[in-house]
Amino acid sequence: MSKIIGVLGGMGPEATADLFAKIIHATPAISDQEHLRIIIDNNPQIPDRTAAIMGQGPNPLPLLVDTANNLVRAGAEFLIMPCHTAHYYYEELQKNCPVPILNMIEESVRQACEAISLLHRIGLLASRGTIIAGLYDGIFNKRGVEVLTPRGEQLEQIMEVIYGVKEGRPRGELKPLWRPVVDDLLQRNIQALILGCTELPLVIDAAEIAVPVLDPTNILAQRAVEYARNNEG
């Protein structure tokens, strides 16, 4: 029997739906019955993670723990969490959750280092909270990889893109915000680019970018399918 996947979602809802769709597409199934059982708690009441990290909002950890344990009570055998910034609380969340939680950031770093030959410089588009907390830097730096992020007002532009997706703004309206930031990172000789916020794959077209683009939502979906089908742990 495959393991039951629990999705700690709602951060934001469209990113959660994107993960669900990518799990379906990553599953080698030819009938309904061959797909995986997935339990989703789409909890948009979880406080803003970036605001909390910046000391400007309530701590989301208690509601993250409550939501995780709600999934466990519903039958989830392991969890995935489609929010990079929420991984700031990963260790405490795992301590308070009785089932494994796959770490999207660790999985993405591993995939990047395996996929990009001689990787030593990577670009990262992410929320202010993810960047300030160094969630990717700490793991990449251990592998000898430098992480380059948006500079100055560019970070504000990426934050506007992220919240623009949450607000439902037209994708074409957001492109003039992210495109110059990507171009600047390309000029800084990045070898690849990570879309380090789950809203960004919903608006950024990887085909328009001259280096490999990694979508951690898709990486997490593929890893979740593998974990569930292999009945690991």
**Positions marked active-site:** 83, 197
Cα separation, 32 vs 97, in Å, equals: 30
Cα separation, 7 vs 167, in Å, equals: 22
Q: Residue 35 gets which letter from DSSP?
A: S
DSSP bridge pairs for 196: 126
Interacting residues of 152 by C-beta distance below 8 A, sequence separation 6+: none
Cα separation, 233 vs 159, in Å, equals: 37
Cα separation, 174 vs 169, in Å, equals: 7
| Beta-carbon count within 10 A of 161 CB | 26
Cα separation, 138 vs 210, in Å, equals: 26
Interacting residues of 113 by C-beta distance below 8 A, sequence separation 6+: 119, 143, 145
Nearest to 23 by CA among 233, 229, 232: 229
